[in-house]
Amino acid sequence: MVEELPKDIRSFIDGIEITEDGALIFKGRRFVFAPGVLFSVSLMGALVERFSRVLGPVGRRALVNYGRRLAKELESLGAKGVLEYYLSLEHLMGFGRNELVEFSESRVVYRVYGSLYGEETGAYFKMKGIEPTATCNSGYIVEGILNYFAEKEGKPLFTSEEVKCKAKGDEYCEFVVRRAA
C-alpha cells in the first residue's frame, strides 16, 4: 500500500475520487479523512464482530459525550445548526452523504448515503457469512448534540435508533432520534 502512494501532494489529490454518495476513493480503496489522518476502514467488520458486545456501551457513551462537547463548542448555532454542521463535517471527511429528513421538537430523522461503516461492515459480514447488524454510530453523536440542548432547556432527553443500515442490505442508513415521553 505505501509503495502505491504518490510522492507529491498534487498527484495525491488528483488521485482521489469522490463518489456521488460522498465516499473518498484512492487507488480503488475507500478512505476517510480525519484530523491529521487518512485511513481505511476495510477491517471495520472484524472489529464489530469481535468487540461490539464488550465495547458497545463504552463506545456509545464516548460518542454521546463527543456530541455534547461539539454542541457546547458551537452552542451559538443552536441545535439544528450544530446538527447540520456535524452532518456536513461527516460528509466532507468521507463517511458518506447525509440528508436531514426531519427536524422537530420531538424527533430528528437523517440518512447517510454511501455509509462508510455500513458498506465496509456489510461486505465483511457477507464474506464471513455472519448475520448483518446495524453498525453505524453517528446516531450517538447526534443524540449527544440534541441532549446537550435538551438538558439546557430542562426537557426530556433523546435516544437514537438506526432503523435502516447499508450493512443489513438497505439502500442507506437511516437514524431516528426520539425525545423520551
- Side-chain-side CA neighbours of 111 within 13 Å: the count stands at 11
In this structure, what C-alpha cell is assigned to residue 19? 463518489
pLDDT value of position 148 = 98
Length of the chain: 181
Give the pairing of strands 97-103 and 107-113.
antiparallel
pLDDT value of position 87 = 94
- How far is 65 from 137, CA to CA, in rounded Å? 13
pLDDT value of position 126 = 74
- How far is 45 from 22, CA to CA, in rounded Å? 20
Q: Please report which helix (H) or strand (E) contains residue 88, including its range.
A: helix 78-92
- Describe the chain by its helix, strand, coil percentages, rounded to 5: 50, 25, 25
The pair phi, psi for residue 134, each rounded to 5°, is -65, 135
pLDDT tens track, the chain, 181 positions: 445 555 666 676 677 777 776 667 777 777 666 554 444 555 555 555 565 666 567 778 888 999 999 999 999 999 999 999 999 988 887 778 899 999 999 999 999 998 777 776 766 677 777 776 666 788 999 999 999 999 999 999 999 999 998 888 889 999 999 999 8
The pair phi, psi for residue 46, each rounded to 5°, is -65, -40
* Fold category of 41-179 in CATH: Muramoyl-pentapeptide Carboxypeptidase; domain 2 (3.30.1380)
User: What CA dihedral angle connects 65, 161, 21 and 141, to 10 degrees?
Assistant: -10
Strand partners, 162: 175
- The answer to whether residues 39 and 32 touch, using CB atoms and an 8 Å cutoff, is yes
Domain with CATH 3.30.1380 in the chain: 41-179
